[in-house]
Chain A
Amino acid sequence: MQPVAHAVDQAAPPDDRVAITEDEVVDEVLVEEISIDGMCGVY
């Protein structure tokens, strides 16, 4: 019979890790439009 401690060592750890990053969509602001209407006449 296998000792209890040895059996515990061989047991696979519970795989409770969550797949969090593979399909995660990254939301970012990549462009920004600047109005220069108020700058007419400024040269």
Chain B
Amino acid sequence: MSLTLESACRLDERVALRPEPFGALAYHYGNRRLVFLRSEDMVRVVRSLDDAPTVAHALTASDIDRRRWPSFLDALSHLEASEVIHAR
């Protein structure tokens, strides 16, 4: 299933986010997948998902320009496919 701006998401509890100069490294202890989050903005969005009612709220709370939202939605869909985040 593909995420939408109205989706509510959460970070998988088996995922560790480690800050890096390029953004963060996400490691899933369950499926052992390793994903680079390639910007500080992306890290901020991912960290805000748990408390945001929807993806759109997380993007707004993270002060992401609306012109960048499609890229963030694609990236979040990729993270869902990798089980880093889940719809809730």
Partner of B42, one of A25, A31, A34, A36: A31
> What are the residues of chain B within 8 A of A26 when measuring CB–CB?
65, 67-68, 71
Is B36 a contact of A31 with CB atoms below 8 Å? yes
Cβ-based interface call for A11 (8 A) = no
Cβ-based interface call for A16 (8 A) = no
Is B35 a contact of A31 with CB atoms below 8 Å? yes
Chain A minimum-CB-distance residue to B36: A32
Chain B minimum-CB-distance residue to A22: B67
| CB neighbors of A among B35-88 (8 A) | 35-39, 41-42, 65, 67-68, 70-72, 74-75, 78-79, 82
Is A31 a contact of B78 with CB atoms below 8 Å? yes
| CB neighbors of B among A1-43 (8 A) | 23-36
Q: A23-B67, A26-B67 are in contact. Are A34 and B75 (CB under 8 A)?
A: no
